[in-house]
A and B are shown apart, each in its own frame.
Chain A
Amino acid sequence: MIDIQGLTYTYPASETPALNGIDLTVPEGQLCAVIGANGAGKSTLCYAIAGFVPHFYNGTLTGRVTVAGRDVVATPLAELAGEIGLVFANPFNQITGARFTVREEVAFGLENLGVPRDDMLARVDAALALVGLAGLGDRSPYALSGGQQQRVALASVIVMRPRVLVLDEPTSQLDPVGTREVFETLAGLAQAGGTTVVLVEHKPEWIAVHADRVVVLSAGRVVLDGPPAEVLAAPELSGYGLAPTRYTQAARLAVGRGLAPGDRPLPVTLEQAAPFFTDRVSP
């Protein structure tokens, strides 16, 4: 669904490329998490998949980005918008400012496509329910908390039913309950709906549970790529400015102190951690 070959991109007025020789293929229905230190190129990768790079930001791009069969560089943004939804890191960048209520805000994209009114209202209410904002449709988007605005931004993209959903830190303002809901919603869209999801996040404990795959970026390059259990337990993770989950940290320390055997993969989730330690705790 997403095919990136030899992508190198440099922002205008910058000398070093933000993305440097990226090769990445994401199949349909995969939930692919992208992690990396700040400045590693995560947001730029999101923009490149959604076409904001280079169409909006200009700059110099070499290589090829193909999404849902379209060459992103050769396709106008308006046309890409039907297939690819981008949720910005900062919800203030997403909310149009041109609509008075949350329901109108979420309907904005569908209105532009001329979707019939009844169909539109049903889709908007379903999207609001999905992100846990069912009761807030009549409020002003600006009267909401940061976390609620972040959900409005997510709903306004989900309502478009994009085949590819690209999200840049969509849970940064959310409490743990909100974070859980967003991760479960995304996993559901990928598994049941076949939506291809590219998710930039900092929260390894949630990625470990819900992602199909984890890609690590460092200085614009893909440096690790594999299943969460493999990537999040990789010893080189900290060298890229990333921290593993406490489960992995505890397991590594226990192995170091001879309290757990060193020949098994280290756990990255609670579910994996319990059996990892149980064998030894009650012999």
Chain B
Amino acid sequence: MNIIVSALSFTYPSGVEALHGVNLAIAAGEAVAILGENGAGKTTLVKHFNGLLRPTRGTVAVGGWDTREHSVAQMAARAGYVFQNPDDQLFERTVQAEVMFGPHNLGRTAAEAGAAAADALAQVGLAAQSGANPYDLHLSERKLLALAAVLAMHTPVVVLDEPTTGQDARGVARISGIVEALKAEGRTVIAISHDVDFCAEHFDRVVLMAGGLILADGPAADVFARADDLRRADVEPPQLVRLASALGLLGAPLRTEQFVDLLAQARL
């Protein structure tokens, strides 16, 4: 499902202008990483995708639905948003109930919701904790639970806000696998992340934001090669890109294998 953002400006009730005329078109099935420093407007932008925020000026359309003309409940069936802080999202008394809430709310039967919840919990590795209280879980597990709650809704668009924060290597590997699975199913995956190495490996397109504007937008290898734009956005290039640049290799390798291929070519 596609997302079309046209001349989007947003001002918080406090008077803070977070977005200044953003234009962005995301096609169905794209995997897009949104990068930028704290306060760049990343979270404000993606909160428009499921109608949590409504444009002050401009429009946002998800699969042709103008977010101003649909309720958050309607939009939630199209765009699932996993909060950065799981404690902003979780409220049920058990892990199972938390993950069933979304599909149930979308009108699925209890049996369907139960099956969707079981699948989603298995995907994030929390199947054994389905009877636990979410607040007895470690913060990194609550983040995975918040992800499961969105996965269980089978939305065509999935938005992840800082998914790898606080995860250990196994947690990051699990989230990477989920992102790859969503991509393989043709769903639109959008992530906000400071983890540039994770973004380089799993997202084909990168959008750089700074001061409520888009600074750069394109294939990951192109954007990560634009040192000046990255500096303006206060984003460090991925480790492999820095290494390739230090060695004078041409191109921005996104994965370890690509870096080693570049190295092999340079030695020929």
Contacts and interface: CB of A to CB of B under 8 A. Distances in A.
Interface of B: 37-39, 84-85, 138-141, 165-172, 194, 196-197, 234-236, 238-240, 242-243, 246-249, 256-257, 259-260, 263-264, 266-267
Given A37-B169, A169-B166, A280-B267, A175 B37 contact: yes
A254 interface: yes
19 contacts: A37-B168, A37-B170, A38-B141, A38-B167, A38-B171, A39-B138, A146-B84, A146-B85, A147-B38, A176-B235, A241-B169, A242-B169, A250-B256, A250-B259, A253-B260, A259-B260, A270-B243, A280-B263, A281-B248
Contact of A238 (B169, B171, B235): B169
B37 A177 contact: yes
A213 to B, nearest CB: 20
A261 B18 CA distance: 51
Contacts of B263: 254, 259, 277, 280-281
A273 B267 contact: no
A178 B39 CA distance: 12
Contact of A246 (B166, B238, B246): B238
B206 to A, nearest CB: 15
Given A205-B239, A247-B243, A281-B249, A257 B169 contact: no
A245 interface: yes
A249 B256 contact: yes
Contacts of A242: 168-169
A38 B169 CA distance: 9
B85 to A, nearest CB: 7
B164 to A, nearest CB: 9
Nearest to B262: A281
A214 to B, nearest CB: 15
Interface of A: 36-39, 89-90, 145-148, 169, 172-179, 202, 205, 238, 241-243, 245-247, 249-250, 253-254, 257, 259, 270, 273-274, 277-278, 280-281, 283
B240 A250 contact: yes
A10 to B, nearest CB: 17
Nearest to B243: A273
Given A175-B234, A176-B234, A243 B169 contact: yes
A274 B264 contact: no
Nearest to A169: B166
Contacts of B85: 146
A281 B243 contact: no
Contact of B168 (A241, A273, A278): A241
Nearest to A40: B168
B108 to A, nearest CB: 32
A36 B260 CA distance: 28
Contacts of B266: 281
Contacts of A172: 165-166
Contact of A202 (B139, B166, B238): B166
Nearest to A271: B246
A38 B243 contact: no
Contacts of B169: 37, 238, 241-243
A106 B12 CA distance: 28
Which of A38, A172, A173, A249 has the most B CB atoms < 10 Å from its CB? A38
A274 B259 CA distance: 13
A202 B168 contact: yes
Contacts of B259: 250
B220 to A, nearest CB: 15
Contact of B243 (A37, A39, A238, A246): A246
B253 to A, nearest CB: 9
Contacts of B238: 246
A202 B167 contact: yes
A214 B191 CA distance: 31
A245 B197 CA distance: 10
B23 to A, nearest CB: 24
A90 B267 contact: no
A246 B172 CA distance: 14
Nearest to B236: A176
Contacts of B196: 176
B194 A175 contact: yes
Contacts of B138: 38-39
